[in-house]
Amino acid sequence: MSSFSTSSATSNSKLPVREIPGDYGFPFFGAIKDRYDYFYNLGTDEFFLTKMQKYNSTVFRTNMPPGPFIAKNPKVIVLLDAKTFPVLFDNSKVEKMNVLDGTYVPSTDFYGGYRPCAYLDPSESTHATLKGFFLSLISQLHNQFIPLFRTSISGLFANLENEISQNGKANFNNISDIMSFDFVFRLLCDKTSPHDTNLGSNGPKLFDIWLLPQLAPLFSLGLKFVPNFLEDLMLHTFPLPFFLVRSNYQKLYDAFSKHAESTLNEAEKNGIKRDEACHNLVFLAGFNAYGGMKVLFPALIKWVANGGKSLHTRLANEIRTIIKEECGTITLSAINKMSLVKSVVYEVLRIEPPVPFQYGKAKEDIIIQSHDSTFLVKKGEMIFGYQPFATKDPKIFDKPEEFIPERFMAEGEKLLKYVYWSNARETDDPTVDNKQCPAKNLVVLLCRLMLVEVFMRYDTFTVESTKLFLGSSVTFTTLEKAT
């Protein structure tokens, strides 16, 4: 039995107790209908908005894709506000075992037969071992973050300028993917450039191909010439098998196995089998690091571009003034003094979080409170949070749909506890006992460093952007060098 009850919730709050609204429709067919609404009839945001308005609640029941036949149980309780969302971070109340992708789990064949750390619950002993190793590794490498990223990003700007010169525009995503993979590989593989390995320039493509069948049940390609029912059959009805990408994954595994020798030696000293450590390292590099940068960096550039020349001038002035004070050296100390840069990065993470979904299964009966109601979630029920709604909660953020660069400056820093992109509050830190991204602080640093590098070189720029099934596609149309 739960330690909570409806009556105790009432005594602690004046909010009314409500039955969680919504339903799952007819068995099997209800899940199919919700899947078509989610992907084709309404689209993701409209799917949630329509139900939120229908039930007059930010908490309700529905089915989440993919449903039949990939997921046995698509039923979830949806959280769309900033107040209920943090229950998903409370590991005393929710279980995080095999919920990374929501209501289904890809075959462990994709990970060498192991369950990577991201799929483990903190109650599992292997979780503490693996995450502790990752946290230790990140700590040991911290002095390399800035110099290695600057090495990798120098090629990004050269490629952007060449493409604009030749074609009048440049696709940022492809160039950013190359830079991101280069940085991650150098960081984890003893500063070795992937171009000096058997991977050559194929690393980003190999990771993309490996990620596709794992994530295919969660997105629509949006191809107008492919009928909806046909795409739904191919992507959302049956899992894509590992053998389609086996050779690609093996190339990645072999490269990390050979060139991350010191990292793997350290893992063995921590009691982790070398094979398991290498598969986890590939997952960390490909799914967590490269996969996250693949979405986040284009979002960062898109929103900063939308801020226009006025924002660019302010950023450039702050960055160049502080770097000049530091004798022209880009250091962590200098970056930490850039209050506008920091606020802009947090605002991007708020308005377009790189990981929009969070899941957790109730370990016990849980009482949760939204802004206007109290609800009872039963033990074993799956809870789903859609972060883009929670971090644009109008009862927390003023003008939540607008990109406000200085939102988190001065007194605005108090709002950082409502920025949830890292599977925890921005004011929290990753530990072996939680599921917060172990590289949370590194991600923030790299976004700040990206802006520093951009505005040390350029005064302003313009882009065109379109929505992708994962993030945004960004194309540079102008790039004005610093005067």
Q: What is the CATH number of the domain that holds 294?
A: 1.10.630.10
pLDDT at 25 over 70: yes
How many contiguous H segments (helices) and E segments (strands) does the chain have? 17, 10
Which pLDDT does position 470 carry in this prediction?
83
Provide the strand spans (E) within 224-318. Answer: none
pLDDT at 7 over 60: no
In a domain, 18, yes or no: no
How confident is the prediction for the chain on average, in pLDDT? 95
* Lowest model confidence (mean pLDDT) among 223-227, 262-266, 418-422, 433-437: 223-227
pLDDT above 70 as % of the chain: 97
In tens, the pLDDT along 149-181 reads: 999 999 999 999 999 999 999 999 999 999 999
In tens, the pLDDT along 305-333 reads: 999 999 999 999 999 999 999 988 999 99
* Mean pLDDT along residues 117-125: 97
Output the pTM of the full model: 0.95
Distance separating alpha carbons of residues 383 and 377, to the nearest angstrom: 8
In a domain, 197, yes or no: yes
In a domain, 3, yes or no: no
In a domain, 6, yes or no: no
Structure confidence at residue 5 as a pLDDT band (50, 70, 90): very low
pLDDT at 4 over 70: no
pLDDT at 2 over 70: no
In a domain, 351, yes or no: yes
In tens, the pLDDT along 337-375 reads: 999 999 999 999 999 999 999 999 999 999 999 999 999
Which pLDDT does position 58 carry in this prediction?
98
Among positive and negative, which fits the CA dihedral 446, 452, 458, 462? positive
* Mean pLDDT along residues 91-98: 97
Contact 371, 83 (CB under 8 A): yes
In a domain, 205, yes or no: yes
Structure tokens at 15: 């909010």
Q: Say if residue 172 is exposed, middle or buried (CB neighbours under 10 Å; 0-12, 13-18, 19+).
A: buried
In tens, the pLDDT along 328-338 reads: 899 999 999 99
Contact 159, 171 (CB under 8 A): no
In a domain, 14, yes or no: no
Which pLDDT does position 3 carry in this prediction?
33
What one-letter code names the amino acid at 204?
P
Which pLDDT does position 13 carry in this prediction?
59
Structure tokens at 155: 């090629």
Count of domains in the chain? 1
pLDDT at 9 over 90: no
- 134: three-class secondary structure by DSSP: helix
Which pLDDT does position 117 carry in this prediction?
98
In a domain, 7, yes or no: no
Contact 157, 151 (CB under 8 A): no
Which pLDDT does position 256 carry in this prediction?
98
Which pLDDT does position 262 carry in this prediction?
95
Domain that holds residue 465: 29-481
DSSP letter string, 336-374? HT-HHHHHHHHHHHHHS-S--EEEEEESS-EEEE-SS-E
